[in-house]
Chain A
């Protein structure tokens, strides 16, 4: 899994930064290496919830491992199963206590992971001292922040999928961090967000721009909209409103807009999962010629992004003509790339 800006996304970054007037060197968002994925299933409270949470943890793990550049995944659960398969990469490695979590985060740093993605699945509590329920002492936002500080300056993404997740946003927000919360701080009902989060990782539909990389923002938007739709269909008042903070101000956004200084910019660049080899930055076995063509294609794709941003001020016909010209160039490049790969493969 790569957190850096590979290919088209990188090109898009250049274009985006150019548009918003931020220097291209202002942020470094990791290398092409794979970040560590730590999945924590908290206390279920009942066998049903315990089963559900560990099942979701396994699903997230499975999605991470199916990626062309598999994540380094560690799964922590409330109770370790007695008879796990030895070669099961998604088998829980430890109980989801504070100590084990802290140990895993340090281990990820020690392993030189380019970044950390932490997924929390379980029950949260609100009020004056919000907590995420773990075996043993529950986890406070402040304590988790300390643990994440221990990871160092690498890019950190936290996805808190439990109830009252929003209470963790203020403490966890910071430079380089993307914090995704399933609910506002005071929403304590069981969440539906995790199912949609997993669906985004599992299927193709979450990859909105079909670039083979699932950005944190794409996953967030997919899951958020899925939750909204579900409540609408059932005619219920929505009791969960997901938040995303990536500008470090500690105030999560309900609908990140990717405008300068607002939430969404970093989350759009940061990949949560690579869905296809196309999405890999430097890890493919392409020849230098193919890489050159890919870079050329991505640069054109970035121009499409820029053109789209500029659409409002353009005549419709001129816009469409320019769009088609760019897309045909991309299509021709894509065709050549495919042919070269076929020849090479």
Chain B
């Protein structure tokens, strides 16, 4: 069954017939009178209203609710006024008043008020009352098959589905579409088209073409009644459900352009912002659409539920509970707020209350998966993926056709590492809804993964890009084992089951794998026993340190495992970054200094907000560093055992303030103060130094904005005037270096280093100093500067190579080898560090290392393949593996049959038998 397209004779007739209605029926009352009340004379002639019906309706449509209410109240006996007043009251959350207004106006005939009353009951979750009213309306107006009650039939059909009367609901919705398609010569008004669209959308799981039809019909409705927001709202909801944010935004914008105070429009805008936050994870403008929505309608159930959800995301469970309880008190039957409170109870481990809420929901809505989906989403956001999967299954039991439930189940199974069932479930979801972009992208990603190389090496399973597997595997595996050993020793945690590590060579694939999880890091994500991260090849050399990312994610495995995934975001991220810093080094980047200077660091109980709901660009990265400093302080001042005790506190369900008080014996405020003192001591003077010279000192020194009209002397003078200004010293140093005044440049960079000793980033002073010292034939100082730079910015691949060259030139192969190993930890995809490390290994007689590095050099695509194969053969030969040596030398000679050294090796191998 399909909704007949606009191009058909039937649809064309509808349009033609409706055109005069648009002219003849002014927007006397919005919404337009429901079905059963065809345009009548009184609709177009109520000029007795104070200000006129047009002004009242216009005020309502523009969101001037007080003005609209006054106008409607002044003319309550006029046709349409009662509906308009009720709509005004409904939009502003005065549901009972709205119902009373409509009830007082009830009379004989097929009253539109019945449907309007049902819609209000529906909005506040009073299903039975709504059902009764809709049935009454249909009984009095006649069924849809006779051209009547299209809206009532649709609402009732949807209601029946939610109330567990699946067969009846589906049949009723089928009937609506049949009526739309077959009624002879009938004239549909906008609301009837909207009803047909809703029916089509609800049946889309059986025939996905109906989703498209629904959008088309919504469009038609919007054309017929351009002032009515409903078709736009429904289109936006449908599009949001399918992750089509761009088109959803268009519809929402249309609504809010007409009525900036439309609570549902604002709520959808807030949902849109949620989605963008989930995708982008950082940046973006502060969101206030939800607050605006609640300001207009403080009890709007979906907005109240979203508010609770946000608080839960920020680990503000007590605030969330308070708001959820208040919302349920205001509207005890609204399923959205019941579901939100249920989520609070789930996360709080309050099983009895949860069961009671579930039972309450099921009494009214036995076929509605809303509560289960809410629980699944809440669990997912807390990274309780197993719980999320279980709740998704419960949603499916409630509503077997729910593509949303299938999506949630599939994605969470993938996060749990159950790729087989996850894929199967997502394929099922895709069959029901091929327009869901998230499902489609994930299935595409799984297809991509089919081409990856999977290596099982217990307890690990590595899933690597096929053409990178040979290079990556030895390093990824060695580091993974080192990390697990290290965390076992430190945390006493032994991972259970397989640790699946997926590495993506395309950032887009990584994004698909991680979408929907707010506050993820830029390069990696840990779902528990599943880690997804970017390959070094996904980023520019020197900008991304794959090894520290892997180390970071494996630290999450311990923190999540020890707490049953109950560790809050800030704590696990801070801990992972701390582990990363202990192992690889790291420095504070400029945004951190600026945030410190500007007082933008969050207090500890609110640190999660910096991850999941950043309000300024760069806040996520700054929050990572800040959180790691908090835990560094805890470890230094209280000992690592307290970190473990805090993790245990989280496992037991405590929130952050309680954990701090119970474990550390201080208030969160006291801990904040202590950390502030640490920050002040380590970074304060630098941060203030940035302030001294105003905005000029605020730019990143990477490409300092050297004023075009000033020469070196002017820059030096400015730097002299602000000796503590890090950026100005760097600028002056660069200018002096470019002018060939190296000694003076050294002085400037040394001063910058003194001004910001903890500064990290690619553009710090030590890199410049290392080059200047090397030019000045001061290899020891050059090496020291390189070390200083690299412990603050370990991703600096080129600098590791330079350091290795300095050590090699100084006859220190072991130190050179260590630097080359670090270069590989920064970027393993190029042959050079492997070749050089192999040479260093050969010089030290480390045959196994030489073999590994020769293999990596070969796998990294060296242009001299024959040469690399020969070198590998020689390494095998030296390591005593004659078979491998023979195989490799044959491969070399296959390419280069007259390659003398390889020929000699072949002969040697034969002679040695």
A positions within 8 Å CB-CB of B: 8, 204-211, 222, 225-226, 229, 232-235, 278, 297-298, 300-301, 304-305, 308, 320, 323-324, 326-328, 330-332, 334-335, 338
Least Cβ–Cβ distance between B658 and chain A, in angstroms: 45
B866: CB under 8 A from chain A? Answer: yes
**Contact, CB under 8 Å: B867 / A205:** yes
Q: What residues on A are CB-neighbors of B861 within 8 Å?
A: 225, 229
Q: What residues on A are CB-neighbors of B862 within 8 Å?
A: 205
**Contact, CB under 8 Å: A301 / B898:** yes
**Contact, CB under 8 Å: A334 / B896:** no
**Contact, CB under 8 Å: B907 / A331:** yes
**Contact, CB under 8 Å: A210 / B906:** no
**Contact, CB under 8 Å: B866 / A320:** no
Given A8-B898, A300-B897, A301-B898, is A334 in contact with B863 using a C-beta cutoff of 8 Å? no
Extra A-B contacts (15), CB below 8 Å, given A208-B863, A210-B867, A320-B890: A205-B864, A207-B864, A208-B865, A222-B863, A225-B861, A225-B863, A235-B539, A298-B898, A301-B897, A305-B897, A326-B897, A330-B897, A331-B906, A334-B904, A335-B907
**Contact, CB under 8 Å: A204 / B867:** yes
Query: Which of B541, B862, B900, B904 counts the most chain A CB atoms within 10 A?
Result: B900
B104: CB under 8 A from chain A? Answer: no
Contact of B904 among A205, A222, A232, A335 (CB under 8 A): A335
Least Cβ–Cβ distance between A60 and chain B, in angstroms: 19
Contact of B896 among A208, A226, A235, A324 (CB under 8 A): A208
The contact sample of 28 A-B pairs, CB cut-off 8 A, is A8-B897, A8-B898, A206-B864, A208-B864, A209-B897, A209-B899, A210-B866, A210-B895, A210-B899, A211-B898, A222-B863, A233-B541, A234-B540, A235-B539, A298-B898, A300-B897, A301-B898, A304-B897, A305-B897, A323-B893, A327-B897, A327-B903, A327-B906, A331-B903, A331-B907, A334-B898, A334-B900, A335-B903
**Contact, CB under 8 Å: B890 / A210:** no
When chains A and B are docked, how far (Å) is the Cα of A208 from the Cα of B893?
Answer: 11
Q: What residues on A are CB-neighbors of B540 within 8 Å?
A: 233-235
**Contact, CB under 8 Å: B864 / A209:** no
Least Cβ–Cβ distance between A338 and chain B, in angstroms: 7
Q: What residues on B are CB-neighbors of A305 within 8 Å?
A: 897
Least Cβ–Cβ distance between A142 and chain B, in angstroms: 35
**Contact, CB under 8 Å: B898 / A308:** no
Lowest 5 A-B CB distances belong to which pairs?
A210-B896, A205-B864, A210-B899, A331-B903, A301-B897
Contact with A along B861-881 (1 / 0, CB 8 A): 111111100000000000000
Q: What residues on A are CB-neighbors of B830 within 8 Å?
A: 233
When chains A and B are docked, how far (Å) is the Cα of A308 from the Cα of B897?
Answer: 11
Contact with A along B842-868 (1 / 0, CB 8 A): 000000000000000000011111110
When chains A and B are docked, how far (Å) is the Cα of A206 from the Cα of B863?
Answer: 7
When chains A and B are docked, how far (Å) is the Cα of A210 from the Cα of B904?
Answer: 14
- Chain A residue with the shortest CB-CB distance to B827: A233
When chains A and B are docked, how far (Å) is the Cα of A207 from the Cα of B900?
Answer: 13
When chains A and B are docked, how far (Å) is the Cα of A308 from the Cα of B866?
Answer: 15
B positions within 8 Å CB-CB of A: 537, 539-541, 829-830, 861-867, 890, 893-900, 902-904, 906-907, 910
**Contact, CB under 8 Å: A323 / B904:** no
**Contact, CB under 8 Å: A234 / B898:** no
Least Cβ–Cβ distance between B882 and chain A, in angstroms: 14
Q: What residues on A are CB-neighbors of B898 within 8 Å?
A: 8, 209-211, 278, 297-298, 301, 330, 334
Q: What residues on A are CB-neighbors of B907 within 8 Å?
A: 328, 331-332, 335
Q: What residues on B are CB-neighbors of A206 within 8 Å?
A: 863-864
Query: Which of B863, B903, B910 counts the most chain A CB atoms within 10 A?
Result: B863
- Chain B residue with the shortest CB-CB distance to A326: B897
Given A208-B896, A209-B866, A225-B863, is A234 in contact with B541 using a C-beta cutoff of 8 Å? yes
Q: What residues on A are CB-neighbors of B865 within 8 Å?
A: 208
Query: Which of A298, A301, A324 counts the most chain B CB atoms within 10 A?
Result: A324
When chains A and B are docked, how far (Å) is the Cα of A233 from the Cα of B827?
Answer: 10
**Contact, CB under 8 Å: A304 / B894:** yes
- Chain A residue with the shortest CB-CB distance to B865: A208
When chains A and B are docked, how far (Å) is the Cα of A17 from the Cα of B864?
Answer: 26
Given A210-B867, A211-B896, A225-B863, is A331 in contact with B904 using a C-beta cutoff of 8 Å? yes
Least Cβ–Cβ distance between A229 and chain B, in angstroms: 7
Q: What residues on B are CB-neighbors of A320 within 8 Å?
A: 890
- Chain B residue with the shortest CB-CB distance to A212: B898
Q: What residues on A are CB-neighbors of B896 within 8 Å?
A: 208-211
When chains A and B are docked, how far (Å) is the Cα of A193 from the Cα of B833?
Answer: 23
Given A233-B830, A278-B898, A304-B897, is A330 in contact with B866 using a C-beta cutoff of 8 Å? no
Q: What residues on A are CB-neighbors of B539 within 8 Å?
A: 235
Q: What residues on B are CB-neighbors of A326 within 8 Å?
A: 897
Q: What residues on B are CB-neighbors of A229 within 8 Å?
A: 861
Q: What residues on B are CB-neighbors of A324 within 8 Å?
A: 890, 906
Least Cβ–Cβ distance between B744 and chain A, in angstroms: 25
**Contact, CB under 8 Å: A209 / B895:** yes
Least Cβ–Cβ distance between B664 and chain A, in angstroms: 44
Least Cβ–Cβ distance between A74 and chain B, in angstroms: 29
- Chain A residue with the shortest CB-CB distance to B887: A320
- Chain A residue with the shortest CB-CB distance to B886: A324
When chains A and B are docked, how far (Å) is the Cα of A204 from the Cα of B871?
Answer: 14
When chains A and B are docked, how far (Å) is the Cα of A234 from the Cα of B540?
Answer: 5
- Chain A residue with the shortest CB-CB distance to B829: A233
- Chain A residue with the shortest CB-CB distance to B892: A210
Query: Which of B895, B898, B900 counts the most chain A CB atoms within 10 A?
Result: B898
When chains A and B are docked, how far (Å) is the Cα of A324 from the Cα of B898?
Answer: 13
- Chain B residue with the shortest CB-CB distance to A234: B540
When chains A and B are docked, how far (Å) is the Cα of A233 from the Cα of B906?
Answer: 36
When chains A and B are docked, how far (Å) is the Cα of A8 from the Cα of B896?
Answer: 11
Contact of A328 among B899, B900, B906 (CB under 8 A): B906
When chains A and B are docked, how far (Å) is the Cα of A300 from the Cα of B893?
Answer: 12
Least Cβ–Cβ distance between A9 and chain B, in angstroms: 10
**Contact, CB under 8 Å: B900 / A208:** no
- Chain A residue with the shortest CB-CB distance to B864: A205
- Chain B residue with the shortest CB-CB distance to A12: B897
When chains A and B are docked, how far (Å) is the Cα of A209 from the Cα of B902?
Answer: 12
Least Cβ–Cβ distance between A285 and chain B, in angstroms: 18
Q: What residues on B are CB-neighbors of A335 within 8 Å?
A: 903-904, 907
Q: What residues on B are CB-neighbors of A327 within 8 Å?
A: 890, 893, 897, 903, 906
When chains A and B are docked, how far (Å) is the Cα of A323 from the Cα of B886?
Answer: 12
Q: What residues on A are CB-neighbors of B866 within 8 Å?
A: 208-210
Least Cβ–Cβ distance between A327 and chain B, in angstroms: 5
- Chain A residue with the shortest CB-CB distance to B543: A235
Least Cβ–Cβ distance between B33 and chain A, in angstroms: 58
Least Cβ–Cβ distance between A195 and chain B, in angstroms: 14
Least Cβ–Cβ distance between A275 and chain B, in angstroms: 12
Q: What residues on B are CB-neighbors of A334 within 8 Å?
A: 898, 900, 903-904
When chains A and B are docked, how far (Å) is the Cα of A222 from the Cα of B866?
Answer: 13
When chains A and B are docked, how far (Å) is the Cα of A297 from the Cα of B829?
Answer: 37
When chains A and B are docked, how far (Å) is the Cα of A210 from the Cα of B868?
Answer: 12
Q: What residues on B are CB-neighbors of A233 within 8 Å?
A: 540-541, 829-830
**Contact, CB under 8 Å: B863 / A304:** no
When chains A and B are docked, how far (Å) is the Cα of A205 from the Cα of B868?
Answer: 10
Query: Which of B865, B866, B903, B906 counts the most chain A CB atoms within 10 A?
Result: B903
**Contact, CB under 8 Å: B890 / A323:** yes
Q: What residues on B are CB-neighbors of A332 within 8 Å?
A: 907
When chains A and B are docked, how far (Å) is the Cα of A328 from the Cα of B893?
Answer: 10
**Contact, CB under 8 Å: B863 / A226:** yes
Least Cβ–Cβ distance between B892 and chain A, in angstroms: 8
- Chain A residue with the shortest CB-CB distance to B831: A205
When chains A and B are docked, how far (Å) is the Cα of A152 from the Cα of B746?
Answer: 60
Contact of A304 among B829, B893, B906 (CB under 8 A): B893
**Contact, CB under 8 Å: B894 / A308:** yes
Least Cβ–Cβ distance between A325 and chain B, in angstroms: 11
When chains A and B are docked, how far (Å) is the Cα of A328 from the Cα of B896?
Answer: 13
Least Cβ–Cβ distance between B862 and chain A, in angstroms: 7
Least Cβ–Cβ distance between A14 and chain B, in angstroms: 15
Q: What residues on A are CB-neighbors of B893 within 8 Å?
A: 304, 323, 327, 330
Q: What residues on B are CB-neighbors of A328 within 8 Å?
A: 906-907, 910
